[in-house]
Amino acid sequence: MGERSTLMKDFWRGGELFVWMTASGVALSLLMVAGMLGLIMINGLGQFWPGALQETTLRTQETVIGQVVGEEVIPNSVTPDSPAGQRRFRYRVGNRDVFGSEYRWIDASDMVSSARPEDLTVVERREWGPAFGRIMVGVEGAATGSASGSSWTTVKTLVERANQLRRRIEHLEREEIGSINYRIEKARLARHALTLSGRLAPADAEKDQRLLDQMTALERDYLAKTEALERLHKEAGQEVLFLTLSTGRSVRLSLDQVLAVSRPNGMHWVEKLLAYVQNLWLFVSSEPREANTEGGIFPAIFGTVLMVFLMTLAVMPFGVMAAVYLREYATQGPLVRLVRIAVNNLAGVPSIVFGVFGLAFFVYALGGTIDQWLFPEALPNPTFGTGGILWASLTLALLTVPVVIVATEEGLSAVPRDFREGSLGLGATKFETLRHVILPCALPGILTGLILAMARAAGEVAPLMLTGVVKLAPALPLDEYLPFLHLDRKFMHLGFHIYDVGFQSPNVEAAKPMVYMTTLILILVVVLLNWAAVRLRNRLRRRFTASAV
Amino acid sequence: MDIQTRSLSPTAPALSLRPTVPQPRLARPHEAHGTSVDAKVLVRNLDFYYGQRQALFRVSLTVRTHSVTSFIGPSGCGKSTLLRCLNRMNDLVEGARAVGRVELDGVDIYDPAIDVTDLRKRVGMVFQKSNPFPKSIYDNVAYGPRLHGTKDKRSLDELVQHSLQGAGLWDEVKDRLMQSALGLSGGQQQRLCIARALAVQPDVILMDEPCSALDPIATGKIEELIYTLKDTYTVVIVTHNMQQAARVSDQCGFFLMGELVEFGDTKTIFTTPHDKRTEDYITGRFG
């Protein structure tokens, strides 16, 4: 008994258990992170793979065409006949406009036969999601038989041509007509500004006339462009495709509605891989369609990154200056302690509170005043008096300023006293010491604050919803019109996009992979931003702490 | 204030950063009057307090021009405190207070109108732990002159070379001036700190246990350097090493519990001390 109790005693004293506990803490955290990433990736990355199309005949003689996206044991189906339970499959049948819903459960017991014919086609449409069926070429009026063999190439060329047309139309709409509209609006506002005092001053009459002429010319230009646009539209609508659905019904597909066609059953895995990469690229580089449930997320990525950068520009000077004052100049006493406590508590305030403050102060008070002083001609339409990327960035800067202050203070206090004394001993003033020795040495610490602030800002959604994020922004905050960076514009954000696609979209089920994918991209953006900052910090750190040989 | 001003003729106005406001100025050696010609630093009845605690009790001594003066004594006896009073480095300590008189070339350095940065330019300091800035060797030495207005590349180069030569480091680092100073060995770093202090062209150099972290060979080099420095500068050194004090200094002060027990020629202190406590200390009977 004595020996055993000594062993136990040694076990407790040696802290073996403690080591195990600490290690399992780390293991658990790692497992959770890996599990989360894995879940997101499995759910998100799968959607770009061109899945096989199954044509299944049911006992009711009905035929179903679709992608099998899941299977399960039917709940409460365990009976003496089938001890393992009945299985059922989940089909994505597409054609939401015809069938009403995009998904369908099919019991295994109902299936008679199932095959994967090569001529089954996936049609990506501008509206209503994908359509599955057999495709035929036609002109307005009559169908001309199933498009197999050589006619499949015809279909593909047709779609390619339609896409080129669409690109031209988009260019015309966005760039040319958009630019004309922008200039007309500018001229209109300029004219309005001239008459703002109520009466046109005689000196301004000539200017007003010039603006009027300019507007007339622009409007003539506009009419010409719209005519060209209409011609293109007509051209695009001329050719049609017919899609035979699983029900045997033939559906007319105007070519200007078709984005892409593919036959996944006949694709080699290399082709599939290429298609996968292309889909992925389209996702990150294109704009969303159909209430964000289709298309890409580029504006959201852009908005997130730009907002984080603007926030950084705002928060760094303020945070660093405040920290320098608190640490270097302020007399350390109860007041400074109180300020420190307040700053730390500020970091714990719920972010929506900052959102409300941003809305009340930045948007309404500050933005409203700016509008009255600088943009009176646009009123009652607000310019800065509504949510925008500037106000969102400033709100987030406010939210993250405590993080920067705390980190900078720590960085400053970590600078060895020897450096200060060495510099002061050479006759440097306090300011010179700060500028030439202390701040450079504290830079890694300051950058740590920046990293933490960026990570927090990129993931924040609630305050943004009040200060400038929208579901769909008509234009990026950065474009080719002066002054290029439009700080008053509303913007899209990945975090809000996730919420919107996941919970506000009309087709939640189909949007699920989009949610995971957007989440993955958000994580990626945060990781990339942090990685860049960490690299910068490490480089600086190496410079300042090259150890003595 | 520009360092070139140093070479002005005796009639030229002496250093004064705010010419419109009449203020006591730090007189040049040749302007010294009222005290003996070779008194560089005069300390008279200096009491020093860290908050409530008194660290120095009525200390009086005279540091002669172009000599090496050493302060010895057990830890916490106040010798470093006194050293740091001489360039008002103690101002940085919160609650520190000096009562009494410290003169540099006849001017009270604790006069409120004295510009402290100007004082520290004239009284350079080398610290116990070598503290080169995390910059290149060149930038370390050029730090002071740049702050004080030397912008010209050529004269900076000259000054850097001159200072490094003065600190006996030039031959070792001339090929890697642009490399980080943190890559130097401990002894080299300490000599770099001396060069950095020399580059400001001070009158007095204070050294606070400059060799305490160095090996015997590096210590030997610094001691040789101190010996040569006294031709140009006035050196005050605090040391724990009594052999070092005996080797390098001309005058020596022995401190105990904040009091200056004995001050005089090093030779006298080490051979025939007047005070029993000094004798006990240097013969190793306590401390």
pLDDT band, residue B4 (cuts 50/70/90): very low
Note whether A548 contacts B: Cβ–Cβ < 8 A.
Answer: yes
- Write b or e for each residue in A404-442: b if 16 or more Cβ atoms lie within 10 A of its Cβ, otherwise e: bbbbbbbbbeebeebbbbbbbbbbbebebbbebbbbbbb
In the predicted structure, residue A548 carries a pLDDT above the cut 50: no
- Which residue among A424, A436, A544 sits closest to B120, beta carbon to beta carbon? A424
CA distance A194 to B233: 76
The reply to whether A432 touches chain B by the CB within 8 Å rule is yes
Q: Do A418 and B127 touch (CB under 8 A)?
A: yes
Mutate to test the interface with A, among B15, B18, B117 (most CBs of A within 10 A): B117
Report pLDDT for B22. Answer: 45
Which of A38-52, A413-427, A535-549 is predicted with the least confidence, judged by mean pLDDT?
A535-549
Whether residues A545 and B147 touch (CB distance < 8 A) is answered with no
pLDDT surpassing 70 at residue A376? yes
pLDDT band at B286 (very low <50, low <70, confident <90, very high): low
State residue B5's pLDDT score.
40
Cα A177 from Cα B130, distance rounded (Å): 70
Q: How far apart are CA A168 and CA B131, in angstroms?
A: 67
Please compute Rg for chain B using Cα positions.
Answer: 19
Q: Name the more confident of A147 and A323.
A: A323
Residue A447: count other Cβ atoms within 10 Å of its Cβ: 22
Q: What is the pTM of this model?
A: 0.79
Residue A151 has pLDDT above 80, yes or no: no
**If contacts are CB pairs under 8 Å, which of residues 274-333 in chain A contact chain B?**
332
Q: pLDDT tens for residues A497-517?
A: 999 888 887 777 778 888 899
Residue A138's pLDDT is what? 63
To probe the interface with A, which of B26, B120, B196 has the most A CB atoms within 10 Å? Answer: B120
Sign of CA dihedral B32, B34, B37, B38: negative
- Best of B118, B133, B173, B205 to mutate (most A CBs within 10 Å, chain A): B133
pLDDT in tens, A67-124: 888 888 888 777 777 777 788 888 888 888 888 888 888 888 888 888 888 888 888 8
Three-state secondary structure call for residue A135: strand
Interface of B with A (CB under 8 A): 87, 89, 92, 94, 117-121, 124-125, 127, 129, 131-134, 143-144, 147-148, 180, 182-186, 189, 193, 196-197, 200
Q: What is the mean pLDDT of chain A?
A: 84
Contacts 24+ apart (CB under 8 A), A318-323: A318/A397, A318/A401, A318/A404, A319/A400, A319/A401, A319/A403, A319/A404, A319/A405, A319/A408, A319/A449, A319/A453, A320/A404, A320/A408, A320/A446, A322/A401, A322/A405, A323/A404, A323/A405, A323/A406, A323/A408, A323/A409, A323/A412
Mean pLDDT of the A477-503 span: 84
Q: Is A428 on the interface with B (CB under 8 A)?
A: yes
* Beta-strand pair B96-104/A142-143: unpaired
The pLDDT of residue A32 is above 90: yes
Q: In angstroms, how far is CA B171 from the centroid of its own chain?
A: 25
- If you average pLDDT over every residue of chain B, what do you get? 82
Closest residue in A to B88 (Cα–Cα) = A425
Q: Which of B94, B148, B183 sits opposite A427 (nearest CB)?
A: B148
pLDDT digits (tens, 9 = 90+) for B229-263: 888 899 999 998 888 888 899 999 999 888 899 89
Nearest CA of chain B to the CA of A450: how many Å?
22
- What number is the average pLDDT over the span A377-388? 79
pLDDT of residue A549: 30
What confidence tens digit (pLDDT) does each residue in B27-84 have? 444 444 444 457 888 899 999 999 889 999 999 999 998 899 999 988 888 888 999 8
Q: Please give the pLDDT value at position B166.
A: 84
Q: Of A433, A547, A423, A428, which Cα lies nearest the Cα of B131?
A: A423
Q: How far is CA A185 from CA A189, A208, A214, A219, A382, in A?
A: 6, 14, 11, 11, 14
Beta bridge mates, A188 = none
A408 pLDDT band (50/70/90 cuts)?
Answer: very high
The pLDDT score that the predictor gives to residue A198 is: 64
Q: With a cut of 50, say whether residue B13 has pLDDT above it.
A: no
Q: Which amino acid is at A438?
A: I
Please answer yes or no on whether A547 and B182 come within 8 Å at the CB atom.
yes
